[in-house]
Structure 1
């Protein structure tokens, strides 16, 4: 049974084909393009906010400077978001070219490359956010059992800016997870029993 280009599978799950599939593909392309450039923009923002963050305090006549390199987790966060931004810029430009050219053959090797790249960046950005968030909690709350003091009580401006960068990094990591799902869907469709080969791939 079918309704205007939508086939009904035995499990009553809609299966798009024909013109409806092209409309669906176009919408997915737009979503991917938006997410690519969101990641690019917020990735740069997160890297700049954390990477340029610094604050000087005088403690017992000794000047102490807090900077992101003092915490390896923040260094990882900056590098991960910078790489994610550069990667997403390249992939975003690819999406623009594909949309402008219309029908572009989407080969399996290219699909695997995009899928693998998105998966790697998703894992890296999530790991960077997790490690930075853990360090941020220790900086905010301290750890009395280990005699770790609440650093954020001394460097409030530094911690606030790190928090802003971390918030941007969280959006970047979530967007990368969504993109990894999109690229996985695009890849698996190429192995859909050879169906819809006449449709445009991107």
Structure 2
């Protein structure tokens, strides 16, 4: 077709030539921005939770609250650190490919990126869910299990943890968005081959 667009039997447009380059460049720019956001917010969340601690004297006994007291918060810090590191590496890859003007036509690499993005999205969602559940217990307690409210005693600690969880939630949502973009990049390759084969 003269427009450079091949329509597959499923009415899904597959772009070739100049159109593909424009779409790929826009996708790369968006991906770099989102991965940079994950780096910043992931490090911020890990630092907020990781350095959070508060001392409280209870009946002349010095008690200290820190993130290692809750395994869910340890998981959250580790997940954010991994997500930030992974996104930094992927951001560099996208930046280098943009500067070189190369397109992603390697299916093996596309599958690897798609799989890693999916794993990171699920890990972040799991970490946020576990930390949020633990925070609810800390805020409201659980009278049936005789778990007391600790946020009444460690208000600063709980507030900072909440900020870290909020930042982690944004990271997880961005990670889900990126996993959708990597899925588009992957299956676009198969759509491209399908369109080329049908045009022969």
Equivalent pair of 2:41/2:167 in contact (CA under 8 Å): yes
Change (3 A) 1:12 1:91: closer
Structure 1 residue 193 displacement after superposition: 5.4
* TM-score normalised by L of structure 2: 0.90
- TM-score normalised by L of structure 1: 0.89
Match of 1:101 in 2: 100
Within 2, Cα distance between the matches of 1:193 and 1:93? 26
Structure with the largest fraction of helix: 2
- Determine the C-alpha separation between the residues in 2 that align with 1:196 and 1:83: 38
Partners of 1:114 and 1:183 within 8 A in 2: yes
Question: What residue is the counterpart of 1:112 in the other structure?
Answer: 111
Distance 2:35 2:104 in 1: 20
* Shift in Å, 1:18: 3.6
Measure how far apart 1:196 and its partner are: 7.4
Cα 1:74–1:86, aligned 2, differ >3 Å: closer, same or farther?
same
1:113-152 Cα shifts (integer Å, max 9, x gaps): 1111101111100000000000011111111111111110
Residue in 1 that maps onto 2:74: 75
Question: Quick check: 2:8–2:194 contact (8 Å CA) kept in 1?
Answer: no
**In the alignment, is the contact (CA less than 8 A) between 1:39 and 1:88 conserved in 2?**
yes
User: Which one is further off, 140-149 or 71-80?
Assistant: 140-149
2:165 corresponding residue in structure 1: 166
Query: After the TM superposition, which of the residue ranges 12-21 and 152-161 deviates more from structure 2?
Result: 12-21
Do the aligned partners of residues 23 and 135 (structure 1) sit closer, same or farther apart at CA in structure 2, a change above 3 Å counting?
same
Task: Give aligned pairs, total.
Answer: 196
Extract unaligned runs of 5+ from structure 2: none
- Superposition deviation, residue 14 in structure 1: 4.9
Could you tell me which residue of structure 2 aligns to residue 142 of structure 1? 141
Return the offset for 1:9.
6.1
Output aligned runs, 1:1-202, within 5 Å: 4-5=3-4, 14-192=13-191, 194=193
Where do 4+ consecutive residues of structure 1 move more than 3 Å? 2-18
Give the RMSD, CA atoms, in angstroms: 2.0
In 1, Cα distance between equivalents of 2:141 and 2:156? 17
Mark the CA change 1:11 to 1:87 in structure 2 (over 3 Å): closer, same or farther. closer
